[in-house]
Amino acid sequence: MKRLLLKVEPILWLLFGQGILIGTLLLTGWVLVLGIAAPLGVVDPISYARAHDLGASLIGRLVLLALIALPLWKGAHHMRHVFIDTGGGDRDATVAPLLYLLAAAGSLVAILAVVRL
């Protein structure tokens, strides 16, 4: 498992980096409007019809996929490091694959979610 982790480390690191970069770019507006401003009644959230129209376009699907999947990889990778930093380094070969599996499963469902729009 350790060898496999070493082999895929460049991919994991790239997904993690994009999770921080693109994830942060997208999540700021997402959380601001759908999580805070709309629930507080400051703005009206996007209507279902408009959201579906935009989301089902090619660019819309890609943006939504990035919005879901990249933060998952960022989160999994960071939680792996948190685990190592709290003294779990020797169990990394067990914990890391579980975290990445969680991100991979979420990403697969995300692909399905944007395909069925």
Partner 1 sequence: MSDVQKKTFVVTRFDPDRDQVPKTQSYEVPVEPDWKVLDALNFIKDHIDPTLSHRWSCRMAVCGSCGMLVNGEPKLTCKVALSSYGDTVEVAPLPNFPVIRDLVVELDGFMEKFEHVKPWIIRAKERAVEDGPMRQSPEELEEFKHFSMCINCMLCYAACPVVANEPEFLGPAAIALGHRYSLDSRDEGAGERNRIFRGEGTVFACSYANECSEVCPKNVDPAAAVNQAKLKAVIDWAAGLVLPRRAEE
Partner 2 sequence: MPQHAHPEAMAPSKPGSTRTAPPLRPPQLPFAGRYRAYTLFGWTGLLYLLLGFLALRVVWALGDGKQAFDAVIASFEHPLYIAFHVLALVGVVFVGVRFFRLFPKAQPPRIGPVKPPPPAVILTALYAVWIGVTVVFAAILAGGIFA
- Judged by the rule CB under 8 A, the positions of this chain that interact with partner 2 are 19-21, 23-40, 43-52, 54-55, 64, 67-72, 74-79, 81-82, 85-87, 89-90, 102-103, 106, 109-110, 113-114, 116-117
Q: List Cβ<8 Å contacts ≥24 apart for 63-67.
A: 63/26, 64/110, 64/113, 64/114, 64/117, 65/110, 65/111, 65/114, 66/18, 66/22, 66/23, 66/26, 67/23, 67/26, 67/27, 67/30
Give the residue among 10, 101, 15, 8 at the shortest CA–CA distance from 65: 15
Nearer to partner 1, 3 or 116 (CB): 3
Q: Is 91 in the site for partner 1 (CB under 8 A)?
A: no
Q: Which is nearer to partner 1, 10 or 41 (CB)?
A: 10
Q: Which does 55 bind (CB under 5 to 8 A by kind): partner 2, partner 1, none?
A: partner 2
Tokens at 28, concatenated: 């700021």
Our finding on whether 14 is near partner 1 (CB under 8 A) is: yes
Residues in the site for partner 1, rule: CB under 8 A?
6, 9-10, 12-14, 81, 84-85, 87-89, 92
